[in-house]
Amino acid sequence: MIDRPPYFPERGSGAYRVTFYDLALEYRVGPNRLAGVALLSIVPGGPLDRLELDLGPFRIGKVLVDGRPARFRQRRDKLHVTPGRTLPAGTACTVEVRYSGNPRPLSSPWGGLGWEQLTDGSLVAAQPTGAASWFPCNDRVQDKAAYRISVTTASAYHVAANGRLTGKRPSGATTTWVYEQREPMASYLASVQIGPYRSVEVDGPVPQRLLFPAAAEERVRHDFARQGAMIETFSGLFGPYPFGAYTVVVADDELEIPVEAQGMSIFGINHADGRRGEERMVAHELAHQWFGNSLTLADWRDIWLHEGFATYAEWLWSERSGGEPADEHALRWHGRLARLPQDLVLADPGARRIFDDRVYKRGALTLHALRRAMGDRRFFQLLRDWTREHRHGSVTTAAFVQRAQEHAPVPLDDLFSGWLHGRALPRLP
């Protein structure tokens, strides 16, 4: 029997792993019409006479396994594939899926997830289980793979996807954009952004691009002007920026919250007010490049390893850029959390509460308590070692606790027991 994760057990499969996705997409913006050819390189964990992929309600034209037609059926956002032979354990093979339809967000307790049509264009916001809204995948968070994403659409539109732009080919009224993401990436972080954007290069310690509606250029440039300084600050605190470049997309629609993708973040036009009113979110999404995208949780129970760290990065940026020190942020949020129900366990909040604001703020408070217990020198050395040792890999709470104890001058059992596994909010040191 294949083990199922405790959160979202219906997603993904442990019977195989994917090493590479090659996605060739054609997209028509007006009718929101997507046609795709997905070529997956997979390695079975054991002899495999059938496999399942996560995929939304598309029309399937053909499925091939190692170039040979395979039988398939669709049911509840799953594509069940039966090859003509048993696939041997540990031997790489290819699965090709040709599909088409109108991509739409997949339902979840937090609303629609995945491919979303904008007023003029589209975006992808797939966390945690929306990747299947636009391509067939093994939507299990610890199954990280390399990607090649090719998108053909009308030439009036700019396309951004994960990784490095390796090709841009006009042909008549359309243009094909090709991106390659070589660093391993979880499926929920794969992203395509399409819109009539202006693109500008921004100076900084790593290559940066800003994509935005032309009419919003002045306020977008102002609001993201300190992003290069953020990258420099976080690189000193967390270790080197983990990817080759960073892209920010500001959509010409209002979004409830910004969204991170690997090597990229997506904001709504409402997040660029021209007064840096959302600068904490600029810091938050940037910090996810270290905590969430390079170091990706192996189990959704450990979501605090993403959101707690990114929230604490907000406080650190405030502290390092002349704003309130982290102590003041911690005291204020501790007071607010103390007035809320004491029924959340940070290291296992429950699948429906992984985006509860208490996960974010209590996670940040846990790190602040750890910093106070260890001292700044040891604490920030811990973070740099943590990001270096697990660069582009998967992480767990247990591994972080063990690594922290190795750096600490005092036992941390009581600290982690209270903050991570207790329900009542501990006192700040």
Tell me the CATH number at 109: 2.60.40.1730
With respect to residue 388, please indicate whether it lies within any of the assigned structural domains: yes
Same domain (yes/no): 310, 388: yes
Same domain (yes/no): 348, 269: no
Return the percentage of the chain with pLDDT > 70, whole number: 100
pLDDT(1) > 90: no
Indicate the pLDDT class of residue 3, thresholds 50, 70 and 90: confident
As for how many domains the chain has, the answer is 3
Give the CATH number, domain containing residue 370.
Answer: 1.10.390.10
Same domain (yes/no): 91, 237: no
DSSP H helical ranges for 61-134: none
Same domain (yes/no): 338, 402: yes
- In 3D, which of 54, 8, 114 has the Cα closest to residue 352? 8
- In 3D, which of 74, 41, 39 has the Cα closest to residue 60? 74
**Bond preceding residue 128 cis, omega within 30 of 0:** yes
Return the percentage of the chain with pLDDT > 90, whole number: 99
Same domain (yes/no): 322, 375: yes
Same domain (yes/no): 221, 257: yes
With respect to residue 152, please indicate whether it lies within any of the assigned structural domains: yes
Q: Where among 151, 166, 190 does a domain terminate?
A: 190
- Domain of 385, in residue numbers: 296-421
**Mean pLDDT computed over every residue of the chain:** 97
Q: Where among 259, 289, 319 does a domain terminate?
A: 289
Please give the average per-residue pLDDT across 408-423, as a whole number.
97
With respect to residue 429, please indicate whether it lies within any of the assigned structural domains: no
Same domain (yes/no): 102, 152: yes
Same domain (yes/no): 58, 177: yes
With respect to residue 428, please indicate whether it lies within any of the assigned structural domains: no
Q: Where among 243, 264, 289 does a domain terminate?
A: 289
Q: Give the per-residue pLDDT at 4.
A: 84
Please give the average per-residue pLDDT across 155-176, as a whole number.
97
Same domain (yes/no): 4, 136: yes
Same domain (yes/no): 276, 308: no
pTM score, whole prediction: 0.97
With respect to residue 426, please indicate whether it lies within any of the assigned structural domains: no
Same domain (yes/no): 357, 251: no
Same domain (yes/no): 78, 148: yes
With respect to residue 427, please indicate whether it lies within any of the assigned structural domains: no
Longest dimension (CA), the chain: 67
Whole-angstrom distance, CA of residue 182 vs CA of residue 160: 16
Which secondary structure element, helix H or strand E, spans residue 161, and what is its range? strand 158-161
Q: Tell me the pLDDT tens digit for each residue of 57-100.
A: 999 999 999 999 999 999 999 999 999 999 999 999 999 999 99
With respect to residue 76, please indicate whether it lies within any of the assigned structural domains: yes
Kindly compute the dihedral angle of the four CA atoms of residues 347, 352, 355, 361, in this order, to the nearest 10 degrees.
-40
With respect to residue 227, please indicate whether it lies within any of the assigned structural domains: yes
Indicate the pLDDT class of residue 253, thresholds 50, 70 and 90: very high
Kindly compute the dihedral angle of the four CA atoms of residues 366, 368, 372, 378, in this order, to the nearest 10 degrees.
90
Q: Tell me the pLDDT tens digit for each residue of 125-140.
A: 999 999 999 999 999 9
Beta-carbon contacts of residue 350 (< 8 Å; ≥ 6 apart): none
Please give the average per-residue pLDDT across 214-228, as a whole number.
97
Query: Higher pLDDT residue, 4 or 186?
Result: 186
pLDDT(2) > 70: no
Whole-angstrom distance, CA of residue 116 vs CA of residue 401: 38
Q: Give the per-residue pLDDT at 429.
A: 86
| Residue 239 region by backbone torsions, left for phi larger than 0, else alpha for psi between -120 and 50, else beta | left
Whole-angstrom distance, CA of residue 92 vs CA of residue 108: 33
Q: Tell me the pLDDT tens digit for each residue of 373-406.
A: 999 999 999 999 999 999 999 999 999 999 999 9
Q: Give the per-residue pLDDT at 274.
A: 97
